[in-house]
Amino acid sequence: MIRPVLIRFFVVLLFSGWVGFAATNAASEESATGLLNGIMGFAQGLEINPKLISALNGGGTTVGVEYKYENGLKRYPLHGDTDLALSLRSQGLVAVDPKKVPNDVFIHGLRLSVIDLWPRTPAVDSVAACHNALLKERINTRYFDPWTKEIESGHPDKDKMNEFVDSASRELAEYGRLEADPATENWYLYDASGKRINWDNALKRMKERTLFLAFDLSADLEHDQSLTNLQFVGTAQLRGKLLVPYLDLPFELLRGGPPKNWSNRDRGPHFWAGISMVNASENDARTALTSDHKTFPRLNLGAQYRTELFSISEAKSVALELTWRFYYEFNAPQPIKDAELDRTSYFKATVLFPGILFIEYTDGKLPTDVEGGSTVAAGWRYNF
Amino acid sequence: MKKKKSKKAGKNPKAAATIAAAPQASADRVDFIERRIWRFCRTPNDQSSASYVDPLITFPDFKAASISDLIFHRNNNTGPVLDNNVQEFARGLHNHLGDNNVQPIGNPAEARAAVEDAARQVGSPMQALLDVVVRNYR
């Protein structure tokens, strides 16, 4: 009974979001353009990646399209950089033959987030911050931007460039010795200990922090591609990201230095942990096992990390991406335990080669999967 | 009073709504703000030496780049990972602009939300992100 209601709910939700955007623009005199912008704007949060997927149990190979969609609906400031946000999202993997993809799950839902629970704090008082901001603005306007424009011109006037650096050096003398590097289009400051930093790093008004943290309250519909296993899930989740590259230190020892490819320097790991209330009365795979415990609490944990395995140069580097998810149903009925559906975990390791090619290994199962399994996928990453 | 044209509003209707009340920035100020975004994306000046784009990208190439060139899209981030990265990016940029005396025109939360929305638009030109920032900050 719940299934048609849920589907209708999400169709209405998607439609209401679209109408909301259309209405925003309808008031303008260019309503047709506004309407088109509304539709385009709404569709623009969509990203699609084609994949070739092969089950390792001999189940065969299929092609699929992985998609993700996210659109912010409302935003309110709470304190400092901390915001309250309402958003709409959807993600999944549409396979030509879904039976050959043992671990697929679609998620569609609404989310209320508290973004940045541990915001940066001021490094200096407001007077100093104001002074620094004005100084930076002046240095950038008078010296740094004209200096970079000389480089961009293709026929730089070296005397003029030296003049810009000399003038900026005088104004920044109290922060250290200034050095210009045209190759990286950057200026650096050397402090008394000889430590080199980007010149504008010396005048920051906010302190750096170790973690980025956010809290989400979400209402989601989870299902597989057959739409026979549906679950309605309400979740409270804490998520975050380590902003200091501590975890990369062992990899750095193996590589003999920091990653050569900048896209492998994304810090992390990312992590998330939440408690959900799940209504599984429309999950046919589950109700076939038991009619008990149709609504139950579930723990979910997850982590993701990316680093560089090895590299010859920036263009010739191989990256490794690891993802792990774990779900645990509290006080699960015995048939669910016997079927090993009370605790499910899913692991994904992706090796990314130069270009956009990748090989991906997955193992385990997700909450709506009846059976677990391993797959190997090879493909390419393409974003619309 | 002459109404502003909405065709420059880009593909984000919320950003378009914000423009209506925003004063027009001078060409020099637009260039200043756009260069600060470039600077931030190359060298966010955090503890990790990470970059949001190729750290050697020139300003003209940055303006001609795509949102897909931002690290979290290049790395195909999804779910909570993408959320963390986009939200952290918007806050880092917000603070970097503040460091350079560039402030949000209206509600800072809405300015950050507009940046987050623009940064999620995979495939859009980078200029769309620059335009959103110019419309929401001065």
Domain spans of chain B, in order of start = 24-136
Rg (CA), chain A: 26
* Nearest CA distance, A210 vs chain B (angstrom): 9
Collect all residues of chain A within an 8 Å Cβ-Cβ radius of residue B43: 186, 198
SS3 category, A67: strand
Which residues from chain A sit within 8 angstroms of residue B111, using beta carbons? none
Which helix (H) or strand (E) element contains residue B61? helix B59-64
User: Where residue B129 falls among pLDDT bands split at 50, 70, 90?
Assistant: very high
Radius of gyration of chain B (CA): 14
Q: Rounded mean pLDDT of chain B?
A: 85
CA–CA dist A230, B36 (Å, integer): 47
- The label of the residue with tokens 């679950």 reads A231
Lowest mean pLDDT among A74-78, A132-136, B5-9, B119-123: B5-9
Chain B contact set for A198 (CB, 8 A): 43, 45
- pLDDT(B5) > 50: no
Tokens 């008990």 belong to residue = A292
- In chain B, residues with a C-beta closer than 8 Å to the C-beta of A86 are none
Compute how many other C-beta atoms are within 10 angstroms of the C-beta atom of residue B5. 10
* Chain B, nearest residue to A381 by Cα: B76
Tell how far CA A134 is from the center of its chain: 34
The pLDDT value given to residue A40 = 55
ipTM over 0.90: no
pLDDT for A141: 96
Which residue ranges make up each domain of chain A? 1-44, 48-120+210-380, 126-203
Give the model's pLDDT for residue A65: 86
> Across residues B106-125, what is the average pLDDT?
92
Nearest CB to A263 within list B75, B108, B124: B75
CA distance A347 to A164: 54
Q: Considering the domain A48-120+210-380 in this protein, what is its CATH number?
A: 2.40.160
Can you point out the beta strands (E) in A9-132?
A: 46-55, 60-79, 82-95, 106-115
Lookup: tokens for A139: 């240095």
- Of B17, B68, B95, which is closest to A24 when you measure between CB atoms? B17
Dihedral through CA B28, CA A81, CA B114, CA A307, nearest 10?
Answer: 100
* DSSP label of A331: T
Mutation to test the B interface, candidates A139, A266, A356, most B Cβ within 10 Å? A266
Other CB atoms within a 10 A radius of the CB of residue A68 amount to 23
Distance from CA of A346 to the nearest CA of B (A): 15
pLDDT tens digits, one per residue of A304-335: 999 999 888 888 889 999 999 999 999 888 98
Nearest chain B residue (CA) to A136: B100
B113 contacts A75? CB cut-off 8 A: yes
The segments of chain A whose pLDDT lies below 70 read 1-45, 56-57, 102-103, 367-373, 379-384
Phi/psi of residue A290, nearest 5 degrees: -160, 150
Which DSSP helix (H) or strand (E) runs through A38?
Answer: helix A31-43
User: How far is A141 from chain B, CA to nearest CA, in Å?
Assistant: 7
The answer on pLDDT for B2 being more than 50 is no
Distance from CA of B135 to the nearest CA of A (A): 17
